[in-house]
């Protein structure tokens, strides 16, 4: 991987689907999640270790765990 590329991981929570049950908040070992406004939110993205526990525990499949690769403009074109 080019050293100017950065991988970032962060759960995505579909607020339209989340029921606010809190299961994902309880299972998260790092305190990255919280309930706010009746739905789960990623309160502390930097705390997330991307362990994956929050996705399967959600009873309504509101949590997904995508990741993105961020590439600085100066990195292009990658040779
Ligand atoms: S992936 Fe793991 S550390 Fe990250 S928010 Fe979900 S349960 Fe917490
Ligand atoms: S487990 Fe699912 S429904 Fe429950 S608070 Fe988390 S995202 Fe919302």
Residue 11, domain CATH: 3.30.70.20
For 34, the 3-state DSSP assignment is: strand
Q: What is the pTM of this model?
A: 0.80
For 36, the 3-state DSSP assignment is: strand
Q: Which domain holds residue 15?
A: 5-75
- How much is the CA Rg of the chain, to the nearest whole Å? 15
Pocket perturbation via mutation, ligand 1, pick of 22, 52, 56, 63 by most ligand atoms within 8 A of CB: 52
Q: How many structural domains compose the chain? A: 1
- Give residue ranges with CB within 6 A of ligand 1: 11, 27-28, 30, 32-33, 48-54
Tell me, using a 6 A CB cutoff, whether residue 47 lines ligand 2. Answer: no
pLDDT in tens, the chain (79 residues): 444 555 667 899 999 999 999 999 999 999 999 999 999 999 999 999 989 999 999 999 999 998 666 677 765 666 5
C-alpha to C-alpha distance for 74 and 15, rounded to whole angstroms: 35
């Amino acid at each position: 991987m080019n050293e100017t590329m950065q991988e970032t991981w962060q759960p995505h929570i579909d607020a339209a689907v989340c029921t606010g049950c809190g299961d994902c908040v309880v299972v998260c070992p790092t305190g990255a999640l919280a309930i706010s406004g009746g739905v789960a939110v990623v309160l502390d993205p930097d705390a997330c270790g991307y362990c994956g526990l929050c996705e399967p525990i959600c009873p309504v499949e509101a949590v997904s765990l995508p990741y993105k690769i961020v590439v600085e403009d100066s990195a292009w074109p990658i040779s």
